Structure 1
Amino acid sequence: MHTMWKGTISFGLVNIPVKMHAATENKDIKLRQLHKKCKMPIKYEKTCPNCDKDVKSEDIVKAYEYAKNKFVILDDEELEALKKEQEDKAVEIVDFVQLEEIDPVYFEKSYYLSPSEGGSKAYALLREALTDTGKIGIAKMMIRSKEQLAVIRVYKTAIVVETIHYPDEVREVGDVPNVPSQESVGKKELDTAKLLIEQLTTEFEPKKYKDNYRTALMELIEAKKNNEEVEIGKDTKEKPDNVVNLMDALQESLDRAKSDKPKTTKPKKKTTTTKRDAKTKKATS
C-alpha cells in the first residue's frame, strides 16, 4: 500500500511514528475526450488571454485574487517554507470526544495509519485506549499543502485518520432554499411512516450495495472493445405510482415492503421426555 505521508502522532508526551495510506479509492470510470473526426485525444493548452500566447510551466506564478483582477503574488519559495514549517510539527491530538458528537456532514476522507519502525507498542497502546474508552481524538495535520482538522479513531484493527471540514467550510442550513420550517403532520401519517421505517430496517451489510451504473458501463466498454453488438435495454424496474395523497403513498409503500420481506418460519418446539415421564410410561406398559 502506497505511503502518502510520514510523521508523528502524539497525545500528551506519547509520540507514535506512523505512515499514512489512503483508505479509499475512487472507482469512477474516467472517459477521455477525442476529436470526433480523427479519434485523437484533445489537448488542453495553457494560454495567456492578454498576450495571446501559450505559456510554459516555468512562466506561471501563483497568486491570490483578493479583489476583482487584483492579485497578491506568492513565490514558490515562500509557499514551500510555510508548508515545511507546518509539516515538521507533530500531529498532536488536542482533544478526545465521542464520535456521536460529530455530524457526518463534517467528514471528508479516510486514511489508514500504520506504525513506523519502533512505533508498534505505542500504536497498539493508543488503539487499545481508544477502543476501551470509546473516544476519538481531534487533531490538526498538514496534507497536500492544506492544514486539515482530523479525527483519530479505530476501524477494525487499524488506527484511522478521518479528515473533517472546519466549521466555516460547512454551509449554513438556513441558506438552503425552500426548507419548510414547521409543518403539521398527522398522527396517522407519522405512525405509518415510522412503521414503514421499522419494516425496512435491517443490519448494515456494505457488500450488498453495488454500483450498477459502473458495472453496466464496463460491460458496454468490454462489448464495444470486442466488436460485439450492443443493445441498451430499458429499465424494467417497476416505477413508483404517482400517488398524490401522502397517506395512500405511505400505505402502498408499507404493503409492498411487507410483501417483499421474506417470511420467517418459527422452528417447531421439540417435545422433550423427562426421566419421570419415561418411568411412568414403562410402569404402565
Structure 2
Amino acid sequence: MHTMWKGSISFGLVNIPIKLHAATEDKDVKFRSLHKECHTPIKYEKICPVCEKELDIKEIVKGYEIAKGKFVIIDEKEIKELSGANEEKAVEIIDFIKMDEIDPIYYNRSYYMSPDGGTKAYGLLRKALMQSEKAGIAKIIIRSKEQLAVIRVFEGILLMETIHYPDEVRKAADVPNIPTADEVSKKEIDTAILLIDQLTTTFEPEKYHDEYRSQLLELIEAKKNGKEMIAVKQKEPAANMTELMAALQASIDKTKPKTAKQPARKKAATKKGVAK
C-alpha cells in the first residue's frame, strides 16, 4: 500500500511515528480527449485569451479574486514561506470525543495509519481509544492545507478521517422550499414506517455495487475485443402514483416477504372422514 505521508501523532507528551495510506480510492472510469481524425490525446495548453498566446509556466502567477475582474497577486515564494512555517509533519490530537457527536456531513476522506516504528505507542493509543470508546480530534497539514481530522480505530487499525471545518458546511437553513409543517395523516405515517420496517436490514457493504461503472467497463472490454455489446436490460419504470397512500401500499405489497404455500388437503381423505 502506497505511503502518501510520513510524520507522527502526538497527544500530551506521547509521540507516535506513523505513515498515512489512502483508505479509499477513486474508481471512476476516466476518458481522455482525443483528436477524432487520428486519435491523438489532446494536450492541455495554457493560453491567455486576451494576449492570444500560449504561456510559459514562468509567466503564470497566482491571484485571489476580491471582486469581479480584480485580483490580489500572491507570489509563489510567499506561499512557500507561509506553508513552510506551518507544515510540521505531525498529527496533533487536541481533544477526545465520542464518535456519535459528529454528524456524517462533516466527513471528507479516510486514511489508514500504520506505525513507522514506535509500535508500542501505536498499540497503546489503539487500545486506549477502543476501551474508552472515544476518538481523537486532531489537526494535520496535508499538501499545504490545514485539515481537521478524527482518529479512531477501524478493524484493529488507526484510521484518520479528515473532516470539514464548520464554515465549510453550508447552513441547512439556507436550503430553499423546505416545508415548515408535515401535512400527512397518522395512517400515512404508520404505513410509511411499516414500509421502512420491511426494507430494514443489516448493513453489508459487499452487496452494494457501482452498476454503471461495471456496465461501462464491460462496454470498454467488448469494444477492445471487437465484440458487439449486448443491450443492457432497462429497469421497469415505477408506476405513476398520484396518491401518497396508494404509492405506499403498492410499495409494501411489492416488498412483502413471500410466504410458502400450504399444501392443499386431499379431498378423498375429507370425504372418507364424513362417511364415518
Look up the SS of the partner of 1:221 in the other structure. Answer: helix
Deviates more, 1:34-43 or 1:105-114: 34-43
What is the identity, as a one-letter code, of the residue corresponding to 1:126? L
Match of 1:240 in 2: 238
Match of 2:27 in 1: 27
Q: Matches of 1:161 and 1:69 in 2, distance apart?
A: 40
Q: Matches of 1:202 and 1:169 in 2, distance apart?
A: 33
Match of 2:124 in 1: 125
Q: CA deviation at 1:73?
A: 2.1
What is the identity, as a one-letter code, of the residue corresponding to 1:251? Q
Give the 3 Å change call, closer, same or farther, for CA 75–189 of structure 1 in structure 2.
same
Match of 1:180 in 2: 179
Match of 1:77 in 2: 77
- Matched ranges for 1:216-235 at <5 A: 216-235=215-234
Match of 2:197 in 1: 198
Match of 1:41 in 2: 41
* 1:63-119 Cα deviation digits (max 9, x unpaired): 2222222222222222122222222263211111111111111100000111112x2
Q: Give the TM-score normalised by the residue count of structure 2.
A: 0.90
Match of 2:211 in 1: 212
Match of 2:133 in 1: 134
Moved over 4 A (4+): none
Q: Give the TM-score normalised by the residue count of structure 1.
A: 0.87
Q: CA deviation at 1:175?
A: 1.5
Look up the SS of the partner of 2:97 in the other structure. Answer: strand
Q: Is 1:88 aligned to 2:88, yes or no?
A: yes
* 1:13-38 Cα deviation digits (max 9, x unpaired): 11111111101000111011122222
Q: Matches of 2:223 and 2:54 in 1, distance apart?
A: 37
Q: Matches of 2:223 and 2:188 in 1, distance apart?
A: 50
Q: Which runs of 5+ in 2 are unaligned?
A: 261-276
What is the identity, as a one-letter code, of the residue corresponding to 2:38? C
Conservation of the 8 A alpha-carbon contact between 2:152 and 2:159: yes
Q: Matches of 1:56 and 1:65 in 2, distance apart?
A: 22
Q: Matches of 1:92 and 1:262 in 2, distance apart?
A: 57
What is the identity, as a one-letter code, of the residue corresponding to 1:121? K
Deviates more, 1:27-36 or 1:78-87: 78-87
Compute the RMSD of aligned alpha carbons. 1.5
Q: Matches of 1:90 and 1:215 in 2, distance apart?
A: 39
Give the 3 Å change call, closer, same or farther, for CA 43–90 of structure 1 in structure 2.
closer
Deviates more, 1:183-192 or 1:36-45: 36-45
Match of 2:153 in 1: 154
What is the identity, as a one-letter code, of the residue corresponding to 2:40? M
Conservation of the 8 A alpha-carbon contact between 2:88 and 2:141: no
How many pairs does the alignment contain? 260
Q: CA deviation at 1:8?
A: 1.4
Q: CA deviation at 1:262?
A: 7.7
Q: Matches of 1:39 and 1:231 in 2, distance apart?
A: 25
Q: CA deviation at 1:239?
A: 2.1
Match of 1:277 in 2: none
Q: Which runs of 5+ in 1 are unaligned?
A: 264-285
Q: Is 1:166 aligned to 2:165, yes or no?
A: yes
Q: CA deviation at 1:11?
A: 1.1
Give the 3 Å change call, closer, same or farther, for CA 78–32 of structure 1 in structure 2.
same
Conservation of the 8 A alpha-carbon contact between 2:130 and 2:153: yes
What is the identity, as a one-letter code, of the residue corresponding to 2:105? V
Look up the SS of the partner of 1:77 in the other structure. Answer: helix
What is the identity, as a one-letter code, of the residue corresponding to 1:84? G
User: Structure 1 vs Structure 2: percent identity of aligned residues?
Assistant: 61
Give the 3 Å change call, closer, same or farther, for CA 187–123 of structure 1 in structure 2.
same
Q: Matches of 2:88 and 2:77 in 1, distance apart?
A: 16
Look up the SS of the partner of 1:94 in the other structure. Answer: strand
* 1:34-74 Cα deviation digits (max 9, x unpaired): 22222222222101123211001122121222222222222
